[in-house]
A and B are shown apart, each in its own frame.
Chain A
Amino acid sequence: NAGVMQNPRHLVRRRGQEARLRCSPMKGHSHVYWYRQLPEEGLKFMVYLQKENIIDESGMPKERFSAEFPKEGPSILRIQQVVRGDSAAYFCASSRLGLRTTDTQYFGPGTRLTVL
């Protein structure tokens, strides 16, 4: 049973380009969470999605950032017109049930985005 998959593992973009990060949850998991981790800082919640629905996007910047979790295929975190401050590790996690049920979430290996 494969764990949470994220790709690419490393992504380099120039300022103004788009970054597209992909996350495939564990088999049987329909809840996906995206976090951002800056150097020397903790994980910051960005967005929580279930299949085809955004449930909570309170941690995501209002501009340039968007997320989706289509019926088929991986969840996508999209960052348009990247700036240097977007450089960070982006982690995806998935769970079978929502976290209110205290279900365990499993993290992927992360995508390290570097903006030049």
Chain B
Amino acid sequence: SQKIEQNSEALNIQEGKTATLTCNYTNYSPAYLQWYRQDPGRGPVFLLLIRENEKEKRKERLKVTFDTTLKQSLFHITASQPADSATYLCALDEGNTDKLIFGTGTRLQVFP
């Protein structure tokens, strides 16, 4: 069956450290993968998109990797800050459709 898995347990890290979140998928062949941030009571906010032919993408303190052999994407936040505390969602396309499939998200808590 098709699955997208993100670590359901919250990730707690200290301010200044690098946070690494994982997104694994099975039985999909996505053309691209996206990462979103969601704060409580609000809609998701787009962060980064990485295509299947790209290994790595960066945006300020954010870095995303995409390994189509491992069927995994890693999302890194360097020099993390308490303001980075939120739930982070990965999403991928369902192959030649206009539909996005979302993971359940990982909650990140950055403490001072």
| Chain A residues engaging chain B, CB cutoff 8 angstroms | 4, 31, 33, 35, 40-45, 48, 55-56, 58-59, 91, 93, 98-100, 102, 104-110
Distance (Å) between the CB of A92 and the closest chain B CB? 8
| Chain B residues engaging chain A, CB cutoff 8 angstroms | 4, 31-32, 41-46, 49, 51, 89, 91, 93, 96-105
- A107's partner among B43, B99, B101, B103 (CB-CB below 8 A) is B43
Pair count A-B, CB < 8 A? 62
Q: Which residue of B lies closest to A91 (CB)?
A: B43
- A100's partner among B91, B96, B105 (CB-CB below 8 A) is B96
Cβ contact within 8 Å between B102 and A43: yes
Which residues of A have CB within 8 Å of B49?
102, 104
Which residues of B have CB within 8 Å of A99?
93, 97-100
Report the Cα distance A99→B31, complex, angstroms: 11
Cβ contact within 8 Å between A108 and B43: yes
Distance (Å) between the CB of B40 and the closest chain A CB? 11
Cβ contact within 8 Å between A48 and B46: no
Cβ contact within 8 Å between A107 and B44: yes
* A-B interface, 6 closest residue pairs, ranked by CB to CB distance from nearest: A107-B43, A42-B104, A43-B102, A42-B102, A99-B98, A98-B98
